[in-house]
Amino acid sequence: MRLDLKNLIGLDGNGPTFAQTYGITFDQGVEWAEQGLEMAREGRLDEARVILEGLVTLNPRSPGYWYALGAVYEKQELVDDAEQAFSQATARDPRNLDAWMRLGLLKLKRGDGAGLEALRKVANDARADNAELVARAKSILATSRAA
């Protein structure tokens, strides 16, 4: 089952999200996300995907849910879905360097030059807490220029 973004309630940013409409609390969402991530760590990817797709449906404005869903899609080799999810994560939180990195790498693997731009966003970040990720992006960019 692939997630169809056009059918998500609240995706356009207008009106309440499904979670707001039905009274799903932030803490409940966090608890369900933790369950989904634990399932993913255990290799129960189909179950994790169901939970994370549900969370994205409940609150499509959450960059964290999109990122986690993208990671599960990536592990399941659903590349188009993973790219879409990471794109949604970066659109909602442009400072999410992990999402930019994963999006860039996926695009590069497919021969899409837009992957380089995503990696440049990571490489140009000045936050000290991201030094390892920045160094990795710079290394990949240097290698891709040499090729």
| 62 and 104 housed in the same domain | no
Question: Into how many domains does the chain fold?
Answer: 2
Assess contact for 70 and 82: CB atoms under 8 A: yes
Which domain covers residue 81, as residue numbers?
A: 9-93
Task: Quote the pTM value.
Answer: 0.81
pLDDT on residue 91: 96
Is residue 145 over pLDDT 60? yes
Lowest mean pLDDT among 3-12, 92-101, 104-113, 122-131: 3-12
Taking the C-alpha atoms of residue 9 and residue 89, their distance in angstroms, rounded to an integer, is 17
Mean pLDDT, residues 135-144 taken together? 92
Assess contact for 71 and 87: CB atoms under 8 A: no
| 38 and 70 housed in the same domain | yes
| 13 and 85 housed in the same domain | yes
* Paired tokens of 99: 């999402």
Residue 55 CB neighbours (<10 A): 25
CATH number of residue 18's parent domain:
1.25.40.10
| 103 and 77 housed in the same domain | no
Question: What residue type is 66 in one-letter code?
Answer: W
Is residue 8 over pLDDT 60? no
Assess contact for 84 and 5: CB atoms under 8 A: yes
The sign of the torsion formed by the CA atoms of 49, 54, 57, 63 equals negative
pLDDT on residue 142: 92
